[in-house]
Each structure stands twice: as C-alpha cells, then as structure tokens.
Chain A
Amino acid sequence: AQSVAQPEDQVNVAEGNPLTVKCTYSVSGNPYLFWYVQYPNRGLQFLLKYITGDNLVKGSYGFEAEFNKSQTSFHLKKPSALVSDSALYFCAVRDDRGFQKLVFGTGTRLLVSP
C-alpha cells in the first residue's frame, strides 16, 4: 500500500532564507509524487509533480523538489522564502501500476517570518 510521511508538523523560516519541507514515501511500484499547498479556507492547489526523468522538478511560485529514489524522499525546496509562502503543504504519492488513489501526508505548516 502507498504511504507518505511528513515528519515535521511545522517549519519556521525567516523571509529570504532557503526552506525545505520534508517528505518520504512508500509504494509497491514506481512513484508518482506531488506537492500541493493549502491556504486558509481554500482548496488544495497543485505546486509540482515528479513522474520520470530529471530528479529535480520545478513548479509554481519558485518551488522545486528533488526526487531521491534511494532515500525514498521528495523534499520541497525554495531558495528564498516569502512571507506569502506561509501555508499548509501536503506531499502525495500514487503508484504507477494503475492505482488511481492519491495518498496524502498529514501536512506541514510553513511559517515564514518577516
């Protein structure tokens, strides 16, 4: 069965500093990996995905994520954080064997201080 772990409930970073939000996963086949962001009273918004190819994927709002197969990780990163990046971030995984269920982690709250 697929599963996702986001080990940090909250990440605090100062504006202008780099940020990392951690995610590890478990699937039976090859993973399809996604990051979503959730602002208060808003739906989940897609940030980026890894399907195949280059391990470093770039997404919306300057975010990027690095796929590491040996560590089964897909950490979200941004070189310079903005206060407006403060939100709830979810990592999610699907199995490439045709199972359509997208499994989410418990989320990490990112707080960027001015």
Chain B
Amino acid sequence: GAGVSQTPSNKVTEKGKYVELRCDPISGHTALYWYRQSLGQGPEFLIYFQGTGAADDSGLPNDRFFAVRPEGSVSTLKIQRTERGDSAVYLCASSPQGQVSGANVLTFGAGSRLTVL
C-alpha cells in the first residue's frame, strides 16, 4: 500500500483480556518494527522483524507480549492478560531493508491507541 496501515486505530479493553494489533507495512519493505509510545514519552522499541523472523525482540517487556509476521508482510502484535500499564499508542514502522548500513528511514503508521480499563 501507499503507507503503513495499522488497525484498529483505537482499542478499549478490560484488564485481563487478550488484544491483537495489526500492521500492514509498505509493500516490499522487508524490515518491520513495533514501538510503544506512552503519554509524554518518546517511542520505545519493542521488536524488529527482518522478513518473517524476529531479529531483535529485546524490547518486549515480558512474556505477555508476542509478535508474528508469518509471511513476511503483515505483522500482528499480541498482548495477553492486558494490564492498565499496557495502555499506550502502539506504533508500527517499516523500511526497505534492515541491513548493516542502518541508514534506512523508518516509515511509521498512525498507531493503535490501546486503553486498558
């Protein structure tokens, strides 16, 4: 597509529920990133995919968080047993490649705002 698409744009859930957030990257972009932005903070890295595999998941806060990208395109961020502290905007970004140069620009989606009551 023309840009990075994230759905849903807003999600309100109750504590303890399971949530899935979807990201559809720019066509042909092999690298995909998930970030989390809490109120008043900068984006915080969660996980990076190169193709289908998670190349770096060091930012996932705990084992309630999991992400997949089974066909190397669309990615889903999954949060189990949600807590109020999970409330944030979850940002997805993609770039043409995630090679050694590291100079590639990330294009971000508009984000999915998650509110856990």
Chain A residues at the B interface, C-beta cutoff of 8 Å: 4, 6, 32, 34, 36, 41-46, 49, 51, 90, 94-96, 98-107
Least CB distance, B72 to chain A, in whole angstroms: 16
| Given A43-B4, A94-B102, A96-B102, A101 contacting B107 (CB threshold 8 A) | no
B31, B42, B107: which contacts A46 (Cβ < 8 A)?
Answer: B107
Query: In the complex, which range does the number of interface residues on chain B fall in?
Result: 20 to 34
Verify B42–A51 contact, CB threshold 8 A.
no
| Given A49-B105, A100-B55, A106 contacting B42 (CB threshold 8 A) | yes
The yes or no answer to B98 lying at the interface (CB within 8 A) is yes
Verify B103–A51 contact, CB threshold 8 A.
yes
B33 cross-chain contacts in A, Cβ below 8 A:
102
B109 cross-chain contacts in A, Cβ below 8 A:
43
Least CB distance, A109 to chain B, in whole angstroms: 10
| Given A100-B55, A100-B56, A41 contacting B107 (CB threshold 8 A) | no
Verify A32–B103 contact, CB threshold 8 A.
yes
In the bound complex, how far is the Cα of B31 from the Cα of A34, in angstroms? 17
A94 cross-chain contacts in B, Cβ below 8 A:
102-103
Verify A102–B45 contact, CB threshold 8 A.
yes
B48 cross-chain contacts in A, Cβ below 8 A:
100-101
A106 cross-chain contacts in B, Cβ below 8 A:
40-42
Verify B106–A98 contact, CB threshold 8 A.
no
In the complex, per-residue mask of B92-106: 1 if CB is within 8 Å of any chain A CB, else 0: 010000101111011
A41, A49, A90: which contacts B110 (Cβ < 8 A)?
Answer: A41
In the bound complex, how far is the Cα of B105 from the Cα of A49, in angstroms? 8
A sample of 15 more A-B contacts (CB under 8 A), given A44-B108, A49-B103, A101-B48, is A6-B42, A34-B105, A43-B4, A46-B107, A94-B102, A94-B103, A96-B102, A98-B100, A99-B56, A100-B55, A102-B45, A104-B35, A104-B43, A105-B42, A106-B41
